[in-house]
Amino acid sequence: MLQFDRNKAAAVARETQNAFISFDAAYLSALQLATSVLEAKHGSNLPERDGQRLMQAVHDSAGKLLAGRAGMVAATAILQRVQSRSNQAETDFGCPGAGPWRLMGQGCDHEPTKLSIAS
């Protein structure tokens, strides 16, 4: 059986939750930037070639953030498997938050962390 200090395991869980919050906030910011670029481009006389390159760069950046978040989903699944084989198997450290990445039956019934999207 794997042996983990409860406080250290709780720190890993807390930082995992914080990572999801950070990824979501960064992705939201990238999407807001995409909207701002489209609004600023309209009527600016920016050549379409430059506008396309700019929009593609912003889109690619947001996609990389989303891909990084997918890596955190995979890491969380590994953490949950490791926890289930440890002395902390019965400890409920919470879950990353609400959304489709929650694993069924993982005790994730708390109120989700909400991002502010109001301007």
Count Cβ atoms below 10 Å from residue 79 Cβ, excluding itself: 17
Count Cβ atoms below 10 Å from residue 40 Cβ, excluding itself: 12
Show the low-confidence residues of the chain (pLDDT under 50). Answer: 99-107, 109-119
pTM of the model: 0.74
Q: How far apart are the first and last CA of the chain?
A: 49
Predicted pLDDT of residue 97: 57
Enclosing domain of residue 103: 1-119
Predicted pLDDT of residue 43: 92
**What is the DSSP-derived secondary structure letter of residue 3?**
-
Predicted pLDDT of residue 24: 92
Question: What CA–CA distances, in Å, run from 28 to 42, 46, 97?
Answer: 22, 25, 16
What one-letter code names the amino acid at 117? I
Count Cβ atoms below 10 Å from residue 97 Cβ, excluding itself: 19
Predicted pLDDT of residue 115: 46
Predicted pLDDT of residue 113: 47
Predicted pLDDT of residue 71: 94
Predicted pLDDT of residue 96: 65
* Number of domains the chain is built from: 1
